[in-house]
Amino acid sequence: MYDEALRKAVLQAKWSWSSSSISVLAQLMALARAEQLTRVEADLVVPIPQAWDRRLMRHYNPAEVIAHVLGRSLGVRVARNLLRRKRRVSLQKRVSLQRRFANQKDSFRVRRAATAKGKRILLVDDVLTTGATCSEASHALKQAGAAACTVAVLGRVLGTR
Q: What is the DSSP annotation of 70-94?
A: HHHHHT-EE-TTSEEE-S----GGG
Residues 6+ away with beta carbon under 8 Å from 77: 43, 44, 45, 71
Q: Are 89 and 64 in contact (CB under 8 A)?
A: no
Give pTM, 2 decimals: 0.84
pLDDT digits (tens, 9 = 90+) for 72-103: 999 999 999 999 887 565 554 555 555 655 66
Total domains in the fold of the chain: 1
* pLDDT recorded at residue 6: 81
CATH number for the domain harbouring residue 27: 3.40.50.2020
Q: Are 155 and 128 in contact (CB under 8 A)?
A: yes
**Residue 93 included in any domain:** yes
**Residue 21 included in any domain:** yes
* pLDDT recorded at residue 55: 64
**Residue 146 included in any domain:** yes
Q: Which range marks the domain in which residue 34 is found?
A: 4-156
* pLDDT recorded at residue 97: 56
pLDDT digits (tens, 9 = 90+) for 44-53: 999 999 876 6
**Residue 161 included in any domain:** no
The parts of the chain modelled with pLDDT lower than 70 are 1-2, 52-58, 87-106, 158-161
**Residue 145 included in any domain:** yes
Q: Say how far apart CA 48 and CA 132 lie, in whole Å.
A: 12
